[in-house]
A and B are shown apart, each in its own frame.
Chain A
Amino acid sequence: MIIRFLTQLADKAGTKELELKLEQDITDVRGLLNRLAKDHSSVAGAVLSQGDLAEDVYILINGRHISALGGLDSLISDSDVLVFVPVTEAG
């Protein structure tokens, strides 16, 4: 799967994009976050807080917000494009 990081998340992660082959036991977003925490420390540092998705980050799967898909239980596959988006609100 393709994982993209936007703006400050890309700066923190040290990359704008990561290509991952999902292991068979990873079927949802929660499993992916666990894998990032285990194997990709710089990426995890950008998007996770104490192992959970950081409060100021949200996730799109193929252009859909995960709240519309099942939250952290949203199913994922190798053909998906997942985007980590920083909350941006100041005017």
Chain B
Amino acid sequence: MPEGRYDRQLGLPELGNGGQQKLAAAHITVVGAGGLGSSLLFSLAGIGVKNLRIIDHDTVSLTNLNRQFLYTPADIGLNKAEQAASRLAAYDPDLKLEVFAKKVDETNIYELIEGSDLVIICVDSANIRYLLNETCCRLGISYIDGAVNAFYGYISYIIPRSSACYVCQNGPLHHVDRPEGSRTGTAMVLGTAPAVIGSMQAQLAASVILGCSQAVPGNRYYYNGKDQSIDMVRHQRDPDCSCCGTADLYKDGEMGK
């Protein structure tokens, strides 16, 4: 670890007593390197998280550049995960980066998130959120969710089978199932909103790794970018949840049936 790089945070008691080593040792998987992922990844790399797995099958387009600060016009047409890794490696050459330029689906999701200490969800697909939630619940991996719309967004920290999960929060998949991208593909988002929410996800991740998070697992924290308020919304775990409840209707890959 280069001397001096983290001097401005090592004076914090949460960092100085082994905390910096906790950040450096954590293995974090980031699913989605778009608007949320841009500020999240830079923030995590900045504070000294060294082991980052980046998953995104998508390519950079001109319409991404209002909010996806990892990329430049020269990246248009290139894979996001690979370009993100390239940019982050220049920012911190000590990073250990794993890149998966793959679309997450039921056939590869275990391989993609297995071994993670924490998963951070930055995707724009409800179906993928459900799939990640189900897999994290099965593998017992805690995760941080986040999403945006217009001037607004939320973050949430989920501990499988302890807190409310995404299904407890949102209802079962059939409740909201819709064709891929039908709602979010062209969602209107002010470019600063995902920067705020991605940074909040990073701050929450840091607090979780350092063991000083006071966020209530399973609850959501909604940010209003117009009046700058943050409202906590309580979510109770559903004992009959189809994912994290005792019924477990997700067995044998029959997700949502």
Contact = CB atoms under 8 A, between A and B. Distances in A.
Given A65-B170, A67-B171, A7 B236 contact: no
Interface string A61-73: 0111111100000
Interface stretch (A20-28, A33-41, A42-50, A80-88): A80-88
For this complex, into which size category does the number of interface residues on chain A fall? 20 to 34
B154 interface: yes
Contact of B124 (A63, A67, A68, A89): A89
Contacts of A65: 168-171, 238
B149 A8 contact: yes
Nearest to A85: B233
A30 to B, nearest CB: 17
A70 to B, nearest CB: 12
Contact of B175 (A67, A85, A91): A67
Nearest to B32: A91
A90 B154 CA distance: 11
Nearest to B223: A7
A10 B224 contact: yes
A78 interface: no
10 contacts: A4-B233, A8-B151, A11-B224, A63-B233, A67-B171, A68-B238, A88-B148, A90-B124, A90-B194, A91-B32
